[in-house]
Amino acid sequence: MSEARGPEAGSLLKVRSLTKYFGTFAACNGIDLSIGPGEIHALLGENGAGKSTLVKMLFGVLQPSEGRIFWDGRPVSIGSPGEARTLGIGMVFQHFSLFEALTVAENIALSLDPKIPLAKIAEEAESLSKAYGLPLDPHAHVADLSVGERQRIEIVRALLQNPKLIILDEPTSVLTPQEADKLFETLFKLKAEGRSVLYISHRLEEVQRICDRATVLRHGKVTGDCDPRQETPASLARMMVGSDVAGVHRDSTTDLGSALVQVQNLSVPARTPFSVTLKDIALEVRAGEVLAIAGVAGNGQGELFDALSGEYPVGNDEAIRLCSKAVGRTGINGRRLLGAGFVPEERHGHAAVSDMALSDNLLLSRSQSDRSLFLAGGLLSVIRHDAIRATARRICAAMDVRKSGDDPAAGSLSGGNLQKFIIGRELDRKPAVLVVNQPTWGVDAGAASRIRQALIDLARAGSAVIVISQDLDEIFEVATNIAVISEGRLSKPYPAGDLTLEKIGLLMGGIHDSTAHSGATAGGVHAH
């Protein structure tokens, strides 16, 4: 019927009834999409909606089960990324594929014709990076570069192929606000040249700011096709999650109990040339409290998490006390036995083993600390598979984990759903202390609000919770008290109600507590 109207005039890419099955599960189900030249088109949807699957089909990484793709009005089949590049499609993946030991230019050369001399590649990469406002030293080693710089390599690599369409899968989830602004300038430049951009994001404000059109996916189907500037964040969120996103509820007054986390004189030298030295950190978290630690990425967050969790025990046993026990030299399992839970930032390979089923991942994290729950039979310990599966099921139900089977491999879950599982796994143990690093990194609005509510509820039930986050909205949503980490130093804690965004900004920039305080007051930034 609509075929009779012919391909939409002027559309560069058009997708008809595109479907992808994994087994019997349709990750993409009858998707229609069309992108015009010079258009920045958003692909919106909560985690697991099918966004990455869709763009992998457009880039030839996955083959569609059903449906057709039209390029410049002609039906095409895109058998590989090489074929996609030849058509004029470039892609920047969610997870980078760079070799750390090689230089920027050497990495770029890997995806190009081996006959092109390296010097020429370096020269072109440098001039492109200048032209598009993506500063990059072609001779730098990737290992020395920040996440933002690594992403620039991927973008420059895609631009070297002179694409008509460039696809970016959640590019800003790894960037600071400043880096994101730079990226938007680059995208506007691409648009001005008549190139099209397919932009995956779950950040509604940013989609409204930069995108001309948005296609919204839910459970593998298109649930909206709109001009995002004509929508409100609430109406976009409704298309994504199907109902109003639940607000997070927090009691304004909370009675705090005894201190469950006590850190004093915690100094840890940098382990590698690229890590941060922790300098004389002190903090205290009481029962019923969420201490949120804000800061720009790379200021010691990972190092602080490693010290708190026992991933890297510290020399001074008294520097860290959990539930009144000195644990500085105790490893992660010993700290878990005391009732602490930890959720690291890096989900794949660290918090979960991708190839293993969810239930086996659950067993892995518990075998050391919760034997009673899973193992029966005195000397002859027997793994109780049914109990583990039931617990995995309970966690999935409690956190609304969307998955393609009863007990799939962890790696088959989308990032946000895996994160809900990992956080649910810790919450299910009802830990007295929970330390989480970037709890909603790359997670959609619905899942993020569920995770934040769960963290607040845990504290309300009497646990001490530490949330390390770069997301200031998140910090203000969950925090009882807020401290800021900058260059390995931690500020004193401020009650969340006493801090403004401006004051936090000063602390994040490394301005000393006293200066930040008087500066903020003198500037009259207190809105209330």
Residues contributing to the site for ligand ADP (CB under 6 A): 22, 27, 45, 47-53, 402, 404, 412-414
The tokens of 424 are what? 């649910």
User: Would you say 18 or 27 has its CB closer to ligand ADP?
Assistant: 27
The tokens 């991933």 sit on which residue? 311
Tell me how far, at minimum, the Cβ of 403 lies from ligand ADP, in Å.
Answer: 6
Contact 292, 479 (CB under 8 A): yes
User: Would you say 50 or 60 has its CB closer to ligand ADP?
Assistant: 50
What is the C-alpha to C-alpha distance for residues 347 and 360, in angstroms, rounded to an integer?
16
Q: Which stretch binds Mg ion (CB under 5 A): 44-52, 131-139, 322-330, 376-384?
A: 44-52
Eight-state DSSP code of residue 34 = E
User: Would you say 55 or 281 has its CB closer to Mg ion?
Assistant: 55
What is the C-alpha to C-alpha distance for residues 422 and 361, in angstroms, rounded to an integer?
9
By a kind-dependent CB cut-off of 5 to 8 A, residue 391 interacts, out of ligand ADP, Mg ion, none, with: none
User: Would you say 148 or 416 has its CB closer to ligand ADP?
Assistant: 416
52 binding Mg ion? (CB under 5 A): yes
- Residue 472: which H helix or E strand, with range? helix 472-478
User: Would you say 365 or 414 has its CB closer to Mg ion?
Assistant: 414
Q: What does the CA dihedral 387, 388, 391, 396 come to, rounded to 10 degrees?
A: -140
- Those residues with Cβ within 8 angstroms of residue 118's Cβ, 6 or more apart along the chain or in another chain: 105, 106, 109
By a kind-dependent CB cut-off of 5 to 8 A, residue 60 interacts, out of Mg ion, ligand ADP, none, with: none
Tell me how far, at minimum, the Cβ of 349 lies from ligand ADP, in Å.
Answer: 17
Q: Which stretch binds Mg ion (CB under 5 A): 52-60, 140-148, 308-316, 388-396?
A: 52-60
User: Would you say 126 or 169 has its CB closer to Mg ion?
Assistant: 169
Question: Total residues contacting Mg ion (rule CB under 5 A)?
Answer: 1
Contact 23, 404 (CB under 8 A): yes
Tell me how far, at minimum, the Cβ of 426 lies from ligand ADP, in Å.
Answer: 21
Tell me how far, at minimum, the Cβ of 225 lies from ligand ADP, in Å.
Answer: 17
469 binding Mg ion? (CB under 5 A): no
Tell me how far, at minimum, the Cβ of 114 lies from Mg ion, in Å.
Answer: 31
- The one-letter code for the residue type at 452 is R
CA angle (484, 488, 493) in 5-degree steps: 25
Tell me how far, at minimum, the Cβ of 169 lies from Mg ion, in Å.
Answer: 6
- Those residues with Cβ within 8 angstroms of residue 137's Cβ, 6 or more apart along the chain or in another chain: 104, 126
User: Would you say 220 or 488 has its CB closer to ligand ADP?
Assistant: 220
How far from 265 is each of 1, 122, 163, 324, 369, CA to CA, in Å?
Answer: 72, 47, 53, 16, 28
By a kind-dependent CB cut-off of 5 to 8 A, residue 208 interacts, out of Mg ion, ligand ADP, none, with: none
User: Would you say 54 or 432 has its CB closer to Mg ion?
Assistant: 54
The tokens of 121 are what? 């590649």
Tell me how far, at minimum, the Cβ of 27 lies from ligand ADP, in Å.
Answer: 3
- Dihedrals phi, psi of 193, to nearest 5 degrees: -85, 0
Tell me how far, at minimum, the Cβ of 52 lies from ligand ADP, in Å.
Answer: 3
Q: How many residues does the chain have?
A: 528
Residues at the contact surface with Mg ion, assessed by CB under 5 A: 52
